[in-house]
Amino acid sequence: MQTRNKLLDDMAQLMSNAMGVAQGARTEAETAFKSLLDRWLADRDFVTREEFDAVRAMAQKAREENAALEARIAALEAVERGKPAE
């Protein structure tokens, strides 16, 4: 026959509860830290990845248009001087 020890049962229950409290404290600390970090980043006027990618795409398009216009101007200047465009 197996007997149960009340003291050991109480200690096991106490440890289980302590682990639950520790896990809850960890989750709360992570949430608070993330909130603090988000506020700090927002105060620094950092851009989001989406905003950065959009501006980068606009800059790339502007560079391509600039190169096309440079080629067009060179061709027009060559025609003006009486030479065929290259």
Whether 37 and 72 share a structural domain: no
The ranges of the chain with pLDDT < 70 are 1-3, 83-86
Whether 18 and 39 share a structural domain: yes
Burial group, residue 58, by CB count within 10 angstroms (0-12, 13-18, 19+): exposed
Instruction: Please choose, from the candidates 20, 21, 17, 19, the residue with its C-alpha nearest in 3D space to the C-alpha of residue 9.
Output: 17
Whether 40 and 1 share a structural domain: yes
The pLDDT of residue 1:
46
Domain count, the chain: 2
- Domain hosting 61: range is 47-86
Whether 1 and 33 share a structural domain: yes
Whether 15 and 36 share a structural domain: yes
